[in-house]
């Protein structure tokens, strides 16, 4: 199926499979379909959905990501003229997520590492009580560039 999608323009909207589980949407599929927007239907769960790895792959593919957990009910209406109308049950702000976790050292010795989560909007110091198990290491500069704000509890570097 992905080969068929690759023949046309990039996908406008991808409904991510299986609540964004770890193996739901692979890099090869994303490279072929190039979705502009991704919607993940997910609520609070003990499985860790959406997976930070899946969210990272979607971000690496430059997709704008929305989740029902963050945005509430998401409706997208396409008119015959090609106009698209989005509506959100709670927030229209897309999920901000970082690149995949890496164990490599920062490229420059002066880069400061902070931590984010796949669905959060703040960056943290290591060990912050608001940092979940899905923590993702990211440079401070990249966290700021991607719109993260500092946590008011752990007071990370700014």
Query: What are 106-145's pLDDT values in tens digits?
Result: 344 346 888 888 788 888 887 777 777 778 888 888 888 8
Residue 71, pLDDT > 70, answer yes
The predicted model gives 61-71 an average pLDDT of: 90
Could you tell me the sign of the dihedral formed by the alpha carbons of 46, 144, 61, 75, in that order?
positive
Q: What percentage of the chain reaches a pLDDT higher than 90? A: 16
- Of 113, 110, 100, 102, the residue nearest 140 (C-alpha): 113
State if pTM tops 0.85.
Answer: no
Quick: pLDDT tens for 12-21.
Answer: 899 999 999 9
């Amino acid at each position: 199926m992905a080969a068929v999608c690759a023949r046309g323009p990039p996908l406008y909207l991808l409904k991510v499979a299986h609540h964004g589980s770890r193996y739901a949407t692979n890099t090869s599929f994303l490279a072929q379909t190039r979705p502009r927007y991704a919607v993940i239907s997910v609520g609070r769960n003990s499985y860790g959905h959406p997976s930070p790895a899946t969210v990272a792959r979607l971000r690496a593919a430059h997709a704008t990501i929305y989740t029902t957990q963050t945005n509430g009910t998401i409706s997208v209406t396409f008119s015959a003229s090609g106009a698209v109308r989005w509506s959100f049950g709670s927030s229209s702000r897309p999920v901000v997520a970082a690149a995949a976790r890496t164990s490599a050292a920062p490229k420059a010795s002066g880069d400061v590492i902070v931590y984010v989560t796949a669905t959060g909007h703040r960056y943290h110091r290591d060990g912050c009580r608001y940092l979940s198990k899905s923590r993702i290491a990211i440079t401070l500069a990249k966290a700021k560039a991607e719109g993260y704000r500092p946590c008011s509890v752990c007071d990370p570097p700014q």
